[in-house]
Amino acid sequence: MKNPIQLGLLLLTITALTVLGYNVYLREITPPVLTYTEFLAELRENNIEKIHLQGGVITGEDRAGRPFGTFAPDVSALIPLLQEKKVEISAEAQTESGAIDIFKSLLPLLLILGGWLIFSKKQSGGAFAHGSGRSTRFKPVESDLVTFKDVAGIAEVTEELQEVVEFLKKPEKYSRLGGRIPKGVLLQGAPGTGKTLLAKAIAGEASVAFFSMGGSDFVEIFAGVGASRVRELFVEAKKSAPCIIFIDEIDAIGGRRSGSSSSGSSDEREQTLNALLVEMDGFSSGETVIMIAATNRPDILDPALLRPGRFDRQITISLPDIKGRIKILEVHARKILASAEIDLEKIARSIPGFSGAEIANLVNEAALMAARRSKEAVEMDDFEEAKDKIIMGLARKSIVVSEKDRRITAYHEAGHAIVGLLLEETDPLHKITIIPRGRAMGLTQQLPLDERYTYSREYLQNRITTLLGGRTAETLVFNRLTTGASNDIIAATEIATRLICEWGMSEALGPIAYRQSVDGFLGSSTLVKPHSEMIARQIDVEIKQVIDTCSDEARAILKKHNKFLHKFAEALLINETMDAEEVDIVYRSYLKERELEQILTETRGNDDTCTQRNTNGI
């Protein structure tokens, strides 16, 4: 607490509420009191069911089951009347209530004294008295030791952190040349990329004590507790040096200060942040204590926390590329009984954008799939099913879909697949299904062969064309529109908008950003640059032109390959799910039929020419 006055007010409030609650409780459990005259009147009317005698005090129930209480001045004279009315009687000896009355009168005083002792103990006991067990010290145990061998897919990050391990193991190696041990390392990246695992691996490699806390562990309702807890944590860490202090989700206390007066939780958070800044500045040269923090929101951290001398190193942990995903799969595949036929590279290529935690979840789901099917080992089809479940959602095989809706869905997905297959600069098809998954009635999945970091205008336009292929196929075959294309239209419009407003790919508007997406590890936010109504109308015209051009291209492709559309849709209705190899078989079959038709057409044309020549000769 800030001062004794606040403590006294808090104790008085608690005492008043307790006494009030106790009085309410007594009022609830105490039956209504009748006068003796009223009691006798009810008794003569045969309204009394049973009574309990304790000296002259009478409690009981009437015929309706309602409790009551009264006092009889002469119980012996009352007994005959009770027997006459056949009232059930129970009795017990009268007890001395002096001790109970004394306890009830002293209860408020005892509550005040107890509260005072508790709060005094909490204040004198330091920060960790407010929450025992907040600081967890991990001693290096060989069986549970986490090292860099358990971290895969981020080789450049582990190399950077290897120097921190050397600082902890041999600080004199750097201090003899005048080097200063880094005081803090900030690990920033998307959720699931391995920030916490890296911190534990550093402690395991260096074999030092590891103090771990979450940012929310410092936040309390009582002002000053968070700052006190920070000081206590650093005192304990300095006693155990060399060691590592790890604070996960540091943005809970390290957010940017507003610069204006604040109160309540904001004031408490800023006090905690100030204490953290002071403690990080207070490391002496002889204390080998390194602070590691992790966050998904580095953009909201206070600049004073990020300056050199506090967090000297800020390391961004990105999502793993294809090589990283293979290595992460190898690490987790060692923990399960996997078949020798599993192709980890193929699995890694089919899961672009997966974080380390998502890959671990994929391996675990595959193991659960295999166990559910009573297999001896985890096989490739288990990984495929687990991947489809994670990416596309759980298959809703129990849903009843009419044959008409199945056919519409089949042509819709066939339209996506054919347009994506026949356009040049697009991602290869991976899997097409008309089985409802998640909230979608069907899905067409395309996966890149290589990692993409930049996108050309042709690729983006072809992506829009592919998205509009499903809706176009519906209109060509059924001459009607359905709501199944709603998500495709939203995605296509977003790509077209960013193409015009963010990436400057409009010839009419030029390389000007009218909208800016601020990408973060937890998503992106959009900033709109102020512009005139004329520019807004021109932007709308450009976006519509892009959408119309792509829609016309999709229509042209599907009209030209109309037979392929029908053939593909029929194959989907039979198989329900098709992978890239099955799509290729259908496509090759279509090409052979088309080639045969061309040969027959040419032959028929030659025959007609010969017939005409013979006729002319005759």
Q: Name the residues annotated as catalytic.
A: 413
Q: How far apart are alpha carbons 556 and 472 in whole angstroms?
A: 10
Q: Which residues pair with 52 in a beta bridge?
A: 59, 90
Dihedrals phi, psi of 189, to nearest 5 degrees: 175, 175
Rg (CA), the chain: 39
From residue 366, alpha-carbon distances to 280, 344, 375, 389, 547 in Å are: 45, 13, 11, 10, 40
Report residue 170: phi and psi, to 5°.
-130, 75
Residue 228's Cβ-count burial label (10 Å; 0-12, 13-18, 19+) is buried
Angle at 355 between CA 353 and CA 357, to 5 degrees: 150
Q: Residues with Cβ < 8 Å from 479, sequence gap 6 or more?
A: none
**Residue that the structure tokens 């025959």 belong to:** 607
Residues 6+ apart with CB under 8 A from 419: 465, 466, 468, 469, 472, 554, 557, 558
Report the alpha-carbon distance of residue 269 to residue 486 in Å, rounded. 44
| β-bridge partners, 59 | 52, 69
Peptide bond into 242 cis (omega under 30): yes
Helix/strand/coil for 585 = helix
**Burial bucket for residue 223 (CB in 10 Å: 0-12, 13-18, 19+):** middle
Task: State how far the Cα of 456 lies from the Cα of 248, in Å rounded to an integer.
Answer: 39
Q: What angle in degrees, to the nearest 10, is found between the helix axes of 36-44 and 75-84?
A: 20
Q: Is 189 in contact with 296 (CB distance < 8 Å)? A: yes
67-72: long-range contacts, CB 8 A cutoff, minimum separation 24: 67/31, 67/32, 68/31, 68/32, 68/33, 68/34, 68/39, 69/30, 69/31, 69/32, 69/33, 69/34, 70/33, 70/34, 70/35, 70/36, 70/38, 70/39, 71/36, 72/36, 72/39
